[in-house]
């Protein structure tokens, strides 16, 4: 069983080649062109901040569903979960812009039952249709309390690479890092009916640190 503690560096490994390239180019142009390199240093700093990946502490509460990503809540809807047999669910969508941390972390403790990848389009992830039409990767998680929670990585207008490092059968801890999406995207979380919401549309959330909802007790009305 993986440790629930944060096992990654402050700067995401996914960004190391991009950061190195940006700073090398800035240094070379500085040596050749002096002040003309300022825009390149700004780009290098932007790339560095994009790939930051700070550790987070999960708040106590076994049935809490934590934000799987940094960003803004753009939608809360009652829908049919297409990844779990069309069961009625509450979907919470978190949109990440290019200034948010793009590390994706598990919203609950549980075992991954299934992972499904869907190729698709790259429309603006802020639009509702992105959940159905964009490239996406869905994790169906059987939470430790018996609930089913689906967490979906959705590519965006600029994002062209969804990274997922887990497989069916893996056990995840709340806040455990499971993937990364490059350059702007969203994450959808499908919860069972009766989940108690802690957030509203328009609110900013932080991965692991912000509770989105509380799962209902299994078997409750």
| CB-count burial class (<10 Å; 0-12, 13-18, 19+) for 128 | exposed
From the centroid of its chain, how far is CA 148?
18
What pLDDT does 111 receive? 96
Please list the pLDDT of the chain residue by residue as tens digits (221 residues): 334 444 557 888 887 888 999 999 999 999 988 888 899 999 999 888 888 888 888 998 889 999 999 999 999 999 999 999 999 999 999 998 888 888 899 999 999 999 999 886 555 444 455 456 678 899 999 998 889 999 999 886 655 578 899 999 999 999 999 998 876 688 999 999 999 999 999 999 999 999 999 998 876 54
In a domain, 142, yes or no: yes
In a domain, 221, yes or no: no
**Are 15 and 105 contained in the same domain?**
no
pTM for this one?
A: 0.83
What pLDDT does 188 receive? 94
Helices and strands (DSSP H and E) totals, the chain: 3, 14
**Are 98 and 117 contained in the same domain?**
yes
CA 122/CA 134 separation, integer angstroms: 5
Among residues 36, 55, 74, which one ends one of the domains? 55
Residue-wise pLDDT for 84-111, tens only, equals 999 999 999 999 888 888 889 999 999 9
Question: 3-class DSSP state for residue 22?
Answer: helix
CA 186/CA 156 separation, integer angstroms: 7
Strand order across the beta sheet in which 171-172 lies: 171-172, 110-118, 136-143, 148-155, 185-191, 87-96, 71-81, 204-205
Catalytic residue among 37, 93, 103, 185: 185
- Those residues whose C-beta lies under 8 Å from the C-beta of residue 214, and which sit 6 or more positions away, are 61, 63, 64, 65, 195, 196, 198
**Are 100 and 170 contained in the same domain?**
yes
What pLDDT does 121 receive? 57
Which residues constitute the domain of residue 46? 1-55
CA 141/CA 52 separation, integer angstroms: 26
**Are 10 and 72 contained in the same domain?**
no
What pLDDT does 2 receive? 38
Among residues 55, 72, 95, which one ends one of the domains? 55
**Are 19 and 75 contained in the same domain?**
no
CA 213/CA 16 separation, integer angstroms: 34
**Are 165 and 141 contained in the same domain?**
yes
- Those residues whose C-beta lies under 8 Å from the C-beta of residue 80, and which sit 6 or more positions away, are 86, 87, 88, 89
Nearest to 216 by CA among 19, 63, 15: 63
Number of domains in the chain: 2
**Are 2 and 111 contained in the same domain?**
no
- CATH number, domain at 91? 2.70.70.10
Q: Is 93 a catalytic residue?
A: no
In a domain, 183, yes or no: yes
CA 135/CA 146 separation, integer angstroms: 29
What pLDDT does 180 receive? 87
What pLDDT does 47 receive? 87
């Amino acid at each position: 069983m993986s440790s629930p503690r944060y096992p990654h560096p402050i700067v995401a490994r996914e960004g190391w080649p991009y950061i190195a390239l940006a700073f090398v180019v800035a240094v070379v142009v500085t040596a050749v062109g002096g002040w003309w390199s300022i825009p390149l240093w700004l780009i290098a700093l932007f790339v560095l901040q994009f790939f930051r990946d700070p550790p987070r502490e999960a708040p106590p509460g076994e049935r809490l569903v934590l934000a799987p990503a940094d960003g803004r809540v753009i939608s809360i809807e009652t829908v049919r979960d297409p990844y779990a047999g069309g069961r009625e669910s509450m979907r919470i969508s978190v949109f990440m812009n290019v200034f948010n941390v793009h590390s994706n972390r598990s919203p609950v403790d549980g075992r991954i039952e299934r992972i499904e990848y869907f190729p698709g389009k790259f429309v603006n992830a802020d639009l509702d249709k992105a959940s159905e039409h964009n490239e996406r990767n869905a994790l169906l998680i059987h939470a430790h309390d018996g609930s089913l929670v689906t967490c979906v990585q959705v590519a965006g207008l600029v994002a062209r690479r969804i990274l997922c490092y887990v497989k069916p059968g893996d056990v995840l801890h709340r806040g455990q890092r499971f993937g990364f999406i490059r350059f702007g995207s969203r994450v959808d979380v499908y919860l069972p009916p009766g989940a108690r919401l802690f957030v509203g549309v328009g609110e900013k959330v932080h991965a692991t640190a912000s509770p989105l909802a509380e799962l209902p007790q299994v078997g409750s009305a």
